[in-house]
């Protein structure tokens, strides 16, 4: 995306305000982040996620847009609690490994999200307990899996569509995620877990944490007479905070 925008500037092709704003945002990202700082931050976030039981064993994966193009991703069969900054997978803009260990087997999920959401700089995919539990329930609204129980869920996650089940590693899952990612920065994979993108790795983490907590509350209250936010209240939050 950054390369495409740079080419657009050189040939005078950025005519829309949205293109210009995105170019300026990516330029700021490139200026602020270095290879070393991104690697260190990704490993710190991974350790925090693992220590708090938001994913287990070698499950879950994280990626961050690299300022020189492409991405850094967690390696395959690696625990988020024991990541080595020097061994993170470095992928170019075509998704080819150019340094580090072999990337997560689910790298295609990350690329599907980035391709549809050029403004996003990080993606987190977890097998977090309560979100996975919700993804296994019958009768979910496939367009919005969780009710708007809190304002912060609306602000951080918005609507959460359900992606149909595909076997692990099935590349058709990438197409299914891409079909929804244009309108949603967070999706829930059926019988699998959430995939969440953010403008920074911190924002992606905040969103996936909010999703997991809301899933936990939803399961706690599932058989109770709950009072979610009304459509009018949700719309007011979306307008106030610019939530899609």
The pLDDT tens digits of the residues spanning 201-230 come to 999 999 999 999 999 999 999 999 999 999
Question: Looking at residues 9-27, what average pLDDT do you find?
Answer: 42
Question: What pLDDT, on the 0 to 100 scale, is given for residue 164?
Answer: 97
The yes-or-no verdict on residue 1 having pLDDT over 70 is no
202 is annotated as an active-site residue: no
Q: How confident is the model at residue 169 (pLDDT cuts 50, 70, 90)?
A: confident
Question: What pLDDT, on the 0 to 100 scale, is given for residue 25?
Answer: 52
Question: What pLDDT, on the 0 to 100 scale, is given for residue 28?
Answer: 52
Beta bridge partners of 162: 188
165 is annotated as an active-site residue: no
Tokens of 67: 């300022």
Question: Looking at residues 194-206, what average pLDDT do you find?
Answer: 97
Contact 166, 176 (CB under 8 A): yes
Question: Looking at residues 81-107, what average pLDDT do you find?
Answer: 96
The tens digit of pLDDT for each residue in 142-156 reads: 999 999 999 999 999
Question: Looking at residues 83-97, what average pLDDT do you find?
Answer: 96
Provide the percentage of residues in the chain whose pLDDT is more than 90.
Answer: 83
Question: What pLDDT, on the 0 to 100 scale, is given for residue 23?
Answer: 44
pLDDT averaged over the chain? 89
Question: What pLDDT, on the 0 to 100 scale, is given for residue 241?
Answer: 87
Question: What pLDDT, on the 0 to 100 scale, is given for residue 32?
Answer: 63
Question: What pLDDT, on the 0 to 100 scale, is given for residue 199?
Answer: 94
The tens digit of pLDDT for each residue in 119-147 reads: 999 999 999 999 999 999 999 999 999 99
Residue of 114, 144, 130 whose CA lies nearest to 204: 114
Q: How confident is the model at residue 21 (pLDDT cuts 50, 70, 90)?
A: low
* Catalytic hit among 119, 152, 165, 206: 152
* Catalytic hit among 22, 106, 209, 210: 106
- Distance separating alpha carbons of residues 230 and 23, to the nearest angstrom: 37
Superfamily of domain 55-64+105-241: Class II aldolase/adducin N-terminal domain (3.40.225.10)
Q: How confident is the model at residue 18 (pLDDT cuts 50, 70, 90)?
A: very low
Q: Are strands 193-198 and 186-189 parallel, antiparallel or unpaired?
A: antiparallel
Classified as helix, coil or strand, 64 is strand
The tens digit of pLDDT for each residue in 50-80 reads: 999 999 999 999 999 999 999 999 999 999 9
Sequence ranges of the domains in the chain = 1-32, 55-64+105-241
Rounded to two decimals, the pTM is 0.86
- Distance separating alpha carbons of residues 235 and 134, to the nearest angstrom: 24
- Sheet harboring 186-189: ordered strands across? 97-99, 89-91, 71-73, 61-65, 122-125, 193-198, 186-189, 162-163
Question: What pLDDT, on the 0 to 100 scale, is given for residue 208?
Answer: 98
């Amino acid at each position: 995306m950054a390369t495409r925008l740079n080419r657009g500037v050189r040939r005078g092709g950025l005519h829309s305000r949205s293109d210009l704003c995105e170019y300026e945002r990516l330029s700021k990202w490139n200026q602020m982040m270095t290879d070393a700082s991104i690697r260190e931050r990704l490993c710190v976030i991974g350790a925090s996620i693992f220590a708090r039981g938001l994913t287990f064993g070698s499950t879950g994966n994280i990626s961050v847009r690299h300022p020189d193009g492409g991405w850094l991703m967690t390696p395959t069969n690696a625990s988020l609690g024991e990541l080595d900054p020097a061994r993170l997978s470095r992928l170019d803009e075509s998704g080819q490994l150019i340094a580090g260990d072999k990337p997560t087997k689910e790298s295609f999920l990350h690329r599907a999200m980035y391709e549809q959401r050029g403004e996003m700089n990080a993606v987190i995919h977890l097998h977090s307990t309560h979100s996975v539990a919700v993804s296994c329930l019958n009768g979910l609204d496939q367009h919005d899996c969780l009710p708007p129980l809190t304002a912060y869920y609306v602000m951080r996650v918005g609507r959460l569509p359900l992606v149909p089940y595909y076997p692990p590693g099935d590349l058709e899952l990438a197409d299914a995620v891409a079909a929804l990612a244009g309108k949603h920065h967070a999706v829930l994979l059926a019988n699998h877990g959430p995939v969440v993108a953010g403008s920074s790795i911190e924002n992606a983490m905040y969103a996936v944490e909010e999703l997991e907590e809301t899933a936990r509350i939803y399961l706690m209250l599932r058989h109770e007479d709950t009072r979610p936010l009304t459509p009018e209240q949700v719309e007011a939050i979306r307008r106030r905070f610019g939530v899609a």
